[in-house]
Structure 1
Amino acid sequence: MARTIAKDHGEKRAQILKSAAKVFADQGFDRASMAMLARECGISKANIYHYYDSKDALLYDLLDNYLSNLRDRICAITPDGKSPEDALREIVLEVLLAYQGADDEHRVQSAGLAALPEEQQKVLKSYQRDMVGHMAAVLARIAPERFDGHPAKLRAATMSVFGMLNWFYMWNPGADEAARRDYARLVSDLTLGGLQTL
């Protein structure tokens, strides 16, 4: 007889992923153990194995969950019905709000992706490419005369915006929503002003 899924299965899984993000971020993926994860979660190691058969499977699910949700939040904002400038402002703010409370996941993404098999890396990198492509499309609509026929310049501008956003995560851990909104306005103003001088 197949084992039934507990009513709180999704909640426990989310707790395990959050705890794993902290352990992987603090200890490094290679040094982290399932025993450490169990202690952080406050459950038995056997219980973790009920959800994940290996540390590698847990890492992949953690990054897949984090990056796919981030991608979905960002790519849901389109210029339809609004100016591309307003879409940029919304995307920049959404990135910073999505990063709130996800410092550990962000650190694991930066350091842990290379520990996964190539096929899994491809899936996760496709989420990153989707986000970069979405941001690039909005920037291209803001200043088509600057970017038409210049894909390298468009990519550089796009990655510069993400660079500013990632700087905030690195140097302002635990920043509240008000600080994120203030910084979102700064990044958007710098980007929009800079596009006019390219």
Structure 2
Amino acid sequence: MPTEQQFLPDDAPADDAAAAPRRGRPGYDRETLLSVCVEVFNRYGYDATSMGTLSRHLGISKSAIYHHVESKEAILGQALDRALDALEAVFSEVLANGSGPVNKLEQILDGSVRVLVAQMPYVTLLLRLRGNSEVEEAALQRRRHLTHTVEDLVRQAQERGELRTDISGKSAPRLMLGMVNSIVDWYQPGRSGTVDQLADTVVTMVFAGLRA
């Protein structure tokens, strides 16, 4: 489930997190504020980033940041939801179709690559979590659930004789997802091929070695 931290409306009391979002102070709407904060988290690390650091990069005072958001952890929660909601949507759509386990795995890898490219700063932040807070641990639990889903599909495919059984059903899913996750370290839009080419390459490389 998505985390509950919310951006606060500009004129709302601190306990009115459910109010409808509005534009923040001049120059920063909610989307821009979140984007800059995620960039700073990825540059310095979430734990090492203080509200003072965010203040300097945003060019507004710390009190102005609190006028926009409830806490640093609230910003993190919103950013992680952005990545996880998109990934979970891919998994949900694929699992709902009637294809076999191998086709589902191919579609999940393809969709995950596309989410990673589209939401790269947010997925990068997700991949660097250490589980040092309740928000982080909740996000890691959601990520583990996705990994377990891939494990189940690999096991089903092996039982049906569609994937090699001499490859560990525990290691293979993590290596598959690890290949996708590594994209954040080197992919440059416009310089590393199109997202279609990237997704096709990942799927082809993975299943060329796994098919029975």
Q: TM-score by structure 2 length?
A: 0.71
Answer yes or no: is 1:23 the counterpart of 2:40: yes
What corresponds to 1:127 in structure 2?
142
Inter-CA distance 79–44: structure 2 relative to 1 (3 Å threshold):
same
CA distance in 2, matches of 1:177, 1:8: 36
The alpha-carbon deviation at position 126 of structure 1 amounts to 1.8
Q: Is the 8 A contact 2:88 2:146 kept in 1?
A: yes
What corresponds to 2:171 in structure 1?
156
The alpha-carbon deviation at position 49 of structure 1 amounts to 0.7
Give the aligned residue type for 1:91: I
Task: Identify the match of residue 30 of structure 2 among 5, 8, 13.
Answer: 13
1:168-193 Cα deviation digits (max 9, x unpaired): 22122335795332232222223323
Give the aligned residue type for 2:204: D
| Equivalences for residues 1-198 of structure 1 within 5 A | 5-8=20-23, 12-38=29-55, 40-41=57-58, 44-78=61-95, 80-114=97-131, 116-117=132-133, 119-145=134-160, 153-174=168-189, 179-197=194-212
Structure 2 residue matching 1:173: 3-state secondary structure: coil
Q: In the comparison of the two structures, how many residue pairs are matched?
A: 192
Q: Is the 8 A contact 1:77 1:91 kept in 2?
A: yes
RCO greater where, 1 or 2, for CA within 8 Å and sep 6 or more? 1
CA distance in 2, matches of 1:85, 1:176: 30
Q: TM-score by structure 1 length?
A: 0.76
Q: Is the 8 A contact 2:114 2:199 kept in 1?
A: no
CA distance in 1, matches of 2:68, 2:12: 15
Inter-CA distance 169–6: structure 2 relative to 1 (3 Å threshold):
closer
1:18-47 Cα deviation digits (max 9, x unpaired): 111101111222442334434544655433
1:68-95 Cα deviation digits (max 9, x unpaired): 3322333321263223333222211111
Higher helix share: 1
Seq. identity, %: 21
Q: Is the 8 A contact 2:112 2:180 kept in 1?
A: yes
Structure 1 residue matching 2:94: 3-state secondary structure: coil
Unaligned runs of 5+ residues in structure 1 are none
Q: Is the 8 A contact 1:75 1:131 kept in 2?
A: no
Give the aligned residue type for 1:58: I
The alignment yields a C-alpha RMSD, in angstroms, of 3.3
When structure 1 is superposed on structure 2, of 38-47 and 158-167 the one drifting more is 38-47
CA distance in 1, matches of 2:70, 2:96: 43
